Amino acid sequence: MRQTSDPELACPVAPVVDIVFSRWTTPILWSLHTYGRQRFVELERRLTSITPKVLTERLRRLERDGLVSRTYHAEVPPRVEYEITELGASLGPLFAHLTTWADENLARVDEARAAYDERR
């Protein structure tokens, strides 16, 4: 097998991790999956510590990646809604597996961290 210094070629899941696990992506997808179609202000209320600028950037990136759709309604005032796409919803099993792993292993991670910190 040929070795490479390009992390994306060395690890085939690296691009997926970059897309899905960047800061705020999972909470946005979770919110849209759980609560359905939402306006910007609804997402902002649910994700209380995100700034409007960052939320806008993340939604644009998710739309570009095909994980979220944006619908503009030409009304007065204009209304914009966001919704998880079929592609975005297809990540559900991945998140379910991660939830199971977290339930089974996060306590062990905390123990390992505490043991490490004690040695330092």
Q: How far is CA 42 from the centre of its chain?
A: 17
Q: Is the pLDDT of residue 2 over 80?
A: no
Instruction: Write down all domains in the chain, each with its CATH number in brackets.
Output: 7-89 (1.10.10.10)
Question: Which residue from 52, 36, 32, 40 is spatially nearest to 81, judged by alpha carbons?
Answer: 40
* Bigger pLDDT: 18 vs 115: 115
Strand partners, 83: 69
- 68-108 pLDDT per residue, tens: 999 999 999 889 999 999 999 999 999 899 999 999 999 99
d(CA 18, CA 28): 15
Q: What is the per-residue pLDDT for 7?
A: 61
**5-33: pLDDT as tens digits:** 666 677 888 888 888 888 899 999 999 99
